[in-house]
């Protein structure tokens, strides 16, 4: 209580969301804003988030800022961070691109874009944030990877290989920063019902909603989890897939 008897407002740490125009990015913004966190929304064509910015401010009464960000332009990342109103306490990378496996087999530019979007771009910006968080001695980095990275499969090995690299990157970053006051969370969602997957028939038991992913991220940050499967059943599924002998695995299509 202050001298006037009024309760002092508690300022919550700010959240940076990279890839904020995605369905999951917007859901994450709502979950953190509902907990009173100021939100920094970063994405390509960030002006398209004007309505969402107003919605978050009105609904939750938190400050919200928009920032132009392109994961595929690493030469702009340092300037992007310098232009933020403040260094965030928590950064969540939702950056990624599923693309088409069939298309990427015949179009090397598409394959390159998928790999850069899912590994190079998010790894570069999180590296810069990691250095700044380490200097400060605090912070949390969250990276959205995929169960597709746990074993290469014919149906999505270009996307999966990029996510495998990103998962390994996050693991190494977590190991490096563990004694520096900075925590790293790896998120493995499995199937998620988004605009990108709306044309695909997905099994309901294995498919999460964006709000479910966002809730799990908030909990993981609060409880300092290391690796989370949004739906725990994916942990068992991927364990089984990893244990299939290669002589058998190469003859099946899953």
Question: Which of the residues are catalytic?
Answer: 159
In angstroms, rounded to a whole number, what is the distance separating the alpha carbons of residues 147 and 98? 13
β-pair type (90-93, 15-18):
parallel
Which residues is 144 bridged to in the sheet?
Answer: 187
Task: Dig out the tokens for 23 from the structure.
Answer: 């369905």
Phi, psi for residue 34 in degrees, rounded to 5: -65, -25
β-pair type (39-43, 15-18):
parallel
Question: By the 8 A CB rule, do 154 and 171 touch?
Answer: no
In angstroms, rounded to a whole number, what is the distance separating the alpha carbons of residues 145 and 184? 12
In angstroms, rounded to a whole number, what is the distance separating the alpha carbons of residues 238 and 167? 14
Question: By the 8 A CB rule, do 32 and 218 touch?
Answer: yes
Task: Dig out the tokens for 126 from the structure.
Answer: 């999180």
Question: By the 8 A CB rule, do 18 and 125 touch?
Answer: yes
Calculate the CA 42 to chain-centre distance. 12
In angstroms, rounded to a whole number, what is the distance separating the alpha carbons of residues 47 and 37? 21
């Amino acid at each position: 209580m202050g001298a006037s008897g009024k309760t002092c407002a508690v300022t919550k740490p700010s959240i940076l969301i990279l890839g904020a125009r995605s369905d999951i990015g917007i859901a994450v913004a709502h979950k953190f804003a509902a907990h009173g966190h100021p939100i920094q929304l970063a994405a390509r064509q960030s002006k398209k988030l004007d309505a969402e910015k107003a919605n978050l401010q009105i609904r939750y009464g938190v400050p919200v800022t928009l920032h132009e960000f392109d994961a595929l332009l690493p030469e702009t990342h340092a300037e992007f961070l310098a232009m933020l109103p403040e260094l965030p306490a928590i950064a969540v990378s939702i950056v990624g691109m599923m693309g088409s496996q069939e298309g990427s087999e015949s179009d090397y530019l598409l394959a390159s874009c998928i790999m850069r979007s899912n590994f190079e771009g998010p790894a570069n910006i999180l590296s810069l944030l990691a250095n700044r968080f380490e200097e400060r001695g605090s912070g949390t980095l969250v990276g959205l990877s995929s169960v597709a990275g746990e074993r290469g499969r014919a149906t999505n090995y270009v996307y999966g290989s990029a996510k495998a690299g990103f998962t390994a990157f996050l693991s190494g970053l977590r190991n490096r920063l563990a004694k520096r006051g900075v925590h790293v969370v790896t998120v493995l969602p499995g199937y998620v019902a988004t605009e990108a997957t709306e044309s695909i028939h997905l099994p309901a038991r294995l498919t999460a909603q964006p709000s479910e992913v966002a809730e799990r991220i908030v909990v993981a940050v609060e409880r300092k989890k290391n690796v989370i499967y949004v739906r725990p059943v994916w942990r068992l599924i991927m364990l089984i897939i990893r244990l299939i002998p290669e002589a058998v695995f190469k003859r099946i299509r899953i």
